[in-house]
Structure 1
């Protein structure tokens, strides 16, 4: 009998605790099920990925692939020439490469020089100044400026849409930087009408 009384007392205590917990879960008159449904319906806002970093390896891969498939580029390569960047900007870079196309390998002069360039400047302010200069550079399609780095697309004989290619670079680095349009942003492929 004594064991039965203890069990009965424990059951009454558990029921009281369950009732109190149920009353507390619903808040002001709600039920535990309503609170659970509300929690399931409320989804967190999607988190936008942080922009990545613009690097030469990223640009080299995207640009090299695009230009290699261009029928107007018999042979292309990244080099440290300065066809596509003039003074004082060329003197402010700590690292510079440009992609040029030749009719065939071994030629001294490219037939489409500096189609795409990648430059790392000493400071973000220098990269921004270069980007702003591109607005008036008569050979520029556009430039992507991100921190102290700038990627420039220049008009030439190739059939690749340079504006599309630059936006692909920006998308690949997670939306990094700002695209600054140049004089040929609206006509980034051969057959353009020179508006300058």
Structure 2
């Protein structure tokens, strides 16, 4: 079974890399994420963070409970929910080293931001950073960052991982979004929001 799964992941990654090299305007970062996306595709049946609605706005706690917050899970849930909002017809996860305040950058292990575009192929997002996924090297840095961000935006902290919800999507309940993300880890996280 493991060999079949590994072979499927390799085949999926090869297809994704081949498609990305076929004249598409994908960034180099997307190519680096292809193996993770392929693994998610095999496990879920849909590309992680594809931004395409699947009809499911919430995630169910499953075998992920107790394993910590995973980017692939957050990416899929975010894309599925946010692209249902008329203000975010096309969504895309990107890396951006300036997405975290400079005082926290050295403590970041992984950073991704979800941007909204009016149409596919647009160079500039119409709404940037509608969700932020940050994995820190240590839980104390994650907590300090989450508390700072919660002064303006709702945040979810799970161990050394933080998800920040933007406020630009008027038809999307960001607190409910963070609750759905928290469900994927069995409710192990804490949602912080300004009073």
| Deviation (angstroms), 1:135 | 2.9
Match of 2:110 among 95, 99, 103: 95
Partner of 2:126: 111
TM-score (norm 1): 0.62
Distance 1:90 1:103 in 2: 30
- Tell me, in whole angstroms, the C-alpha distance in 1 between the residues paired with 2:82 and 2:150: 24
Tell me if 1:174 matches 2:189: no
The CA distance in 2 between the partners of 1:117 and 1:96, in whole Å, is 7
2:112/2:132 contact within 8 Å kept? yes
How far apart, in 1, do the equivalents of 2:158 and 2:91 lie? 25
Q: TM-score, normalised by structure 2?
A: 0.62
Q: How far is 1:93 from its partner?
A: 0.8
Report the count of equivalent residues.
132
What do residues 102-152 of structure 1 show as CA deviations (whole Å, max 9, x unaligned)? 11122222111000111110100000000111232x3x1x11111111011
Maintained 8 Å contact 1:143/1:182: no
State which drifts further: 67-76 or 53-62. 67-76
Which has more radius of gyration? Answer: 1
SS for the counterpart of 2:102 is: coil
The answer for unaligned runs of 5 or more in structure 1 is 1-48, 184-196
Partner SS for 1:88: helix
Who is 2:164 aligned against? 152
What pairs up with 1:138-149 in 2 under 5 angstroms? Answer: 138=152, 140=153, 142-149=154-161
Q: 1:91 to 1:108 in 2, by over 3 A?
A: farther
How far off its partner does 1:84 sit? Answer: 4.5
